[in-house]
Amino acid sequence: MKQENGFILKGIGGFYYVRTDSGVIECKARGKFRKSSQKPVIGDRVMIEVQDDGTGYIMSIEPRKNRLIRPAVSNIDQLVIVCSAAPPVTETLLIDKVTAIAEHKGMDVLIVINKCDINRGDHLYDIYTQAGFQVFRVSAQTGEGVGALREQLTGKISAFAGNSGVGKSSLLNAIDEKFQMETGSISPKTERGRHTTRHVELVELETGGFIADTPGFSAFDAERMDLILKDDLQYAFREFEPYLNQCRFTGCAHVKEKGCAIRQAVEEGKIAKERHESYCQLYESVRNLKEWELK
Ligand SMILES: Nc1nc2c(ncn2[C@@H]2O[C@H](COP(=O)(O)OP(=O)(O)OP(=O)(O)O)[C@@H](O)[C@H]2O)c(=O)[nH]1
Ligand SMILES: [Zn+2]
């Protein structure tokens, strides 16, 4: 019996597939993980014991750097937010919800404007560049910008998010031919179909790096805003940072308060008004959350 370290690529029916230096090993979890919230998830870094027959047991899980609940993936290095200025046009509020979650959970963010063959998305480009994000312009259709994006995925674990129809699946297919995602349905996903039976999996890229293959994962867990307390929300908007201690009143919510340095910066064009509007809407939605609601 020997011990190895690795991380979980996928889990099906009680089996976990652990990527180690000596290949992918099929493992079961030790009993102690089975019931509790300690259950292994995709992305977990684990220590396994390999049996004589080549299968293994997960013995321990390293503390997680971060974790998404839906889909259940841990240790994500970066979140790739796919948006588009061509139909279906992405609302900045959706992008800002997801960037806020990512910032709060300590994931890097890449903003990717797809469908540049139709619309180059200057407005989105300006907003997110000004806010301090890396922004890529791509077209899954023509291949423009895909190489540069692929480079940014090398050596990291990434997950893709974006509104339905924005071209996530098309983009994954363009990034690596290992992906054979079905594309093209802008119809509702309520019928039984491709999204009901899929499970998440980390797919290893030709160029190194892993992508959580998350089709139809459009709403993300943005619905519940993954529960950022209202006092923390201001830190999830990175461009607010230089102004945070400059408001007239301590405990300023930066929504309508007089003497608010954030609002001032918005007036002066230093913070995009769309970003501040998203902040205000999110603030309103998390206003009444209590700490005990955070899991
Ligand atoms: N013109 C153009 N069309 C694109 C591009 N990328 C995707 N599309 C089209 O947009 C439609 C939706 O693409 P998908 O890849 O299925 O979008 P998705 O984000 O995976 O959608 P969901 O699975 O619903 O979340 C398809 O008809 C694609 O052919 C692009 O860069 N340019
Ligand atoms: Zn303020």
Q: Global pTM? A: 0.89
Per DSSP bridges, beta strands 210-213 and 134-137 are unpaired
Determine whether the annotation assigns residue 168 to a binding site: yes
122-130 vs 92-104: helix axis angle to the nearest 10?
30
Name the more confident of 1 and 20. Answer: 20
- From the CA atom positions of the chain, what is the Rg in Å? 21
Ligand 2 centroid distance, CA of 230 (Å): 13
Q: How many CB atoms lie within 10 A of CB 112?
A: 26
How far apart are alpha carbons 170 and 167 in whole angstroms?
5
Share of the chain above pLDDT 70, in %: 87
Of all ligands present, the nearest one to the C-alpha of 244 is 2
pLDDT in tens, 142-189: 999 999 999 999 999 999 888 889 999 899 999 998 887 777 755 444
> Could you give the C-alpha distances from 222 to 59, 101, 146, in angstroms and in order?
33, 8, 26
Ligand 2 centroid distance, CA of 274 (Å): 16
pLDDT score for 248 = 97
Given a cut of 50, is residue 282 above it in pLDDT? Answer: yes
pLDDT score for 68 = 81
Query: Which residue ranges form the domains of the chain, and what is each CATH number?
Result: 2-63 (2.40.50.140), 68-222 (3.40.50.300), 227-293 (1.10.40.50)
| Contacting residues for 192 by C-beta, under 8 A, at least 6 apart | none
Given a cut of 50, is residue 193 above it in pLDDT? Answer: no
pLDDT score for 162 = 87
Residue indicated by tokens 């405990």:
251
Atom 10 in ligand 1: which residue has the minimum CA distance? 167
Overall average pLDDT of the 196-209 stretch: 79
Residues with CB under 6 A from ligand 1: 114-115, 117-118, 139-141, 162, 164-170, 183-184, 186, 215-216, 218
Closest by Cα among 194, 212, 102 to 157 = 212
Q: Which band of pLDDT confidence, cut at 50, 70 and 90, is reported for residue 72?
A: confident
Average pLDDT of the chain to the nearest whole number: 88
Q: What is the ipTM of this complex?
A: 0.98
